[in-house]
Amino acid sequence: MTGYKQAILLREDLDMSKGKMIAQACHASLKAYRKADKQAVKEWEVSGEKKIVLKVDEQSLQEKRMDAEASGLTVSSVKDAGKTELKSGTETALAIGPDKEDSIDSVTGDLALIK
């Protein structure tokens, strides 16, 4: 039996502070959570709400969004409002799921964890 998780893909090619990266990741995570399939959310909640944080750049973020959508996964991206560090509209993060681990891994399996 496969477990459930949420993947949070975060751009590391932008000049974001750690605090900014954390806020963007939380925005994406919550946005995808609200949009995800309710049964998948329930399975994820009872199994400990696993989250993984993966490194992308502008191009791989777009590619992974298309791959995830083609696989029928819930995706939500975050664009920065541009009030502080970034140009308005810059896409900073993409969350996928919560959904089945193996479905998410088939899209994000080649990405590195953010250390």
Q: Is 19 in the site for a copy of itself (CB under 8 A)?
A: yes
Among 23, 113, 30, residue whose Cα is nearest residue 74: 30
Residue 94 in tokens: 């993409």
Segment contacting a copy of itself (CB under 8 A): 29-37, 56-64, 66-74, 100-108?
29-37
Q: Is 47 in the site for a copy of itself (CB under 8 A)?
A: no
**Phi/psi at 45 (5° precision):** -65, -45
Q: Is 23 in the site for a copy of itself (CB under 8 A)?
A: yes
Cα separation of 62 and 75, whole Å?
A: 11
Total of chain residues touching a copy of itself, rule CB under 8 A = 23
Residue 97 in tokens: 């799921």
Q: Which of 14, 21, 75, 107 binds a copy of itself (CB under 8 A)?
A: 21
The CB density around residue 99, as the number of other CB atoms within 10 Å, is 26
* CB distance 28 to 6 below 8 Å: no
Q: Which of 2, 13, 22, 82 binds a copy of itself (CB under 8 A)?
A: 22
Which residues of the chain form contacts with a copy of itself (CB under 8 A)? Answer: 8, 10, 17-19, 21-23, 25-27, 29-30, 33, 48-49, 51-53, 81, 113-115
